[in-house]
Structure 1
Amino acid sequence: MAVQTRIFPLALAVGCLATVAVPVVVYAQSNPGFTFNWGDGPSGKQQLRYYLEYGTPGFMNDRYWLRLGKQNVAINRINITYPDYFDGHFNAKSIELRTGGTSNNSLFSLRRDPGEVMPLAEATVDQDNRVIDIIPAEPIPAGKDVQVVISNVRNPQVGGMYYFNARIGSPGDIPLMRYIGTWILSIARN
């Protein structure tokens, strides 16, 4: 009888602890889990990593963390194009450029360590031509981890897959934009 009375409080404590330790469901989108690539689309090497705070259709005030990664050349301009069927909205005043913050390969390290904010000379959003243009105040040196953070995004009304293409410009005599990859954003369906 004494053994049963000692086991009961222990079982009750373990049961309560297990109830408290249940993980909370997170409403965030990250990289596409399983994708097919064919044709001239972006290969696995050209897919860029991203993180969406919510990633739900029509959600206002979402935040996109679009990682460019480390580049072999200095960057003095970033150009992002998105498809015409993306009916979401971006605010140019809510665009940041960050370096660092992605020291390990964990996707969620973007969220834990946001990195250092780089001053911008200009950030524009051309809704008609579907282009986001970002010019840092000073060129970003080669080899630095770079990510674009866009806050106050209004997601499209319909969920789906959206291809955002990234191009960078480097300081030099010829101002050519170089394609570096594509973010395949997946907005959850209702």
Structure 2
Amino acid sequence: MKRLLSTLAVASCLLTGFQAVSWAQSLPGLTLFSGIKGENQLPYRLDFGGQADGWDRYILRIPAQKMKLAVAQIAITYPNYYKGSFNPKKIEVMVKNKPVPLSEVKWDKEGRIIQIYPQEPIPSGSKVEVVLSDVKNPSFGGTFYFTCQVLSPGDVPLLRYLGTWILSIS
């Protein structure tokens, strides 16, 4: 009986540990001293664990309540110390779990910006996911602030801030 109980205790600890690891890179948890207000932090998921110098897929989410206007362009900026790489051909935008046709995706390495242009404006109130596949994480881990800005159709050509994804690469 003692062996059975000790085996169950060890097994439950192992399962709990694996479960915590799998949750570690899904959505931001409690972030202290980030400089970004809680309402401006956007949820995300790193599909392959966010390991330094590894390949990954970033799912960057924009909640429906942030999408107050239709969107004609999404711009994602990142810090100069982020030394990862992106494949613009493997970037897609999902609305209601369906890909949105894109007219163009530009990655300006020097300007540290990814510009995404849907063929048709994304309707206001939509829950949006920007999927960055085939991402090479930086060689050294850290915390990286990816900022989301959007341009509405007919707007004065100034990008409007929606929020920030605070990505952790280990």
Q: What TM-score do you get using the length of structure 2 for normalisation?
A: 0.84
2:39 to 39, 45, 63: 45
Mapped partners of 1:42, 1:127: distance in 2: 24
Aligned length: 158
Mapped partners of 1:173, 1:117: distance in 2: 24
Q: Indicate whether 1:142 and 2:124 are aligned.
A: yes
Aligned-residue offset at 1:42 = 1.9
Aligned-residue offset at 1:19 = 5.6
Q: Indicate whether 1:169 and 2:151 are aligned.
A: yes
- Which residues in structure 2 correspond to 1:94-113 (within 5 Å)? 94-100=90-96
Question: 2:52 — aligned with what?
Answer: 57
Mapped contact 1:75–1:139 kept (Cα < 8 A): yes
Percent identity of the aligned residues? 46
Q: Indicate whether 1:83 and 2:65 are aligned.
A: no
**SS at 1:129 equivalent:** coil
Gaps of 5+ in 1: 1-7, 101-114
Mapped partners of 1:185, 1:173: distance in 2: 30
Mapped contact 2:74–2:117 kept (Cα < 8 A): yes
Q: What TM-score do you get using the length of structure 1 for normalisation?
A: 0.75
1:36 to 32, 35, 56: 32
2:101 to 116, 119, 126: 119
Amino acid in the other structure paired with 2:63:
G
**SS at 1:152 equivalent:** strand
- CA change 1:173–1:66 in 2 (3 A) is closer
Question: 1:112 — aligned with what?
Answer: none
Mapped partners of 2:155, 2:115: distance in 1: 20
CA deviations on 1:74-106 (whole Å, 9 max, x unpaired) are: 000000000000000001001000012xxxxxx
Q: Which runs of 4+ in 1 moved over 4 A?
A: none
Gaps of 5+ in 2: none
CA deviations on 1:38-74 (whole Å, 9 max, x unpaired) are: 6xx32101000000012010002x0000001111100
Aligned-residue offset at 1:132 = 0.3
